[in-house]
Amino acid sequence: MLPPPCPGIERVISLRILGVIVNDRITAADHMTMLVSSCSSLLYAMRVLRAHGIPATSLHDIFRATVVSRIQYAAPAWSGMCSSADRGRLNSILRRSKRLGYSNNDLPSIDELFNSADDDVFNRIKTNSSHVLQPYLPDKLNLPYQL
pLDDT interval class at 55 (50, 70, 90): very high
Mark out the alpha helices in the chain (DSSP H runs).
Answer: 29-51, 56-63, 69-72, 75-78, 84-100, 110-127
Determine which helix (DSSP H) or strand (DSSP E) holds 87, and give its type and residue range: helix 84-100
pLDDT surpassing 70 at residue 4:
no
Half-sphere exposure (CA, 13 Å, Cβ side) for 15? Answer: 6
| pTM, two decimal places | 0.79
Q: What is the C-alpha separation between 66 and 42, in angstroms, rounded?
A: 7
Q: How confident is the model at residue 111 (pLDDT cuts 50, 70, 90)?
A: very high
Q: How far apart are CA 10 and CA 36, in angstroms?
A: 28
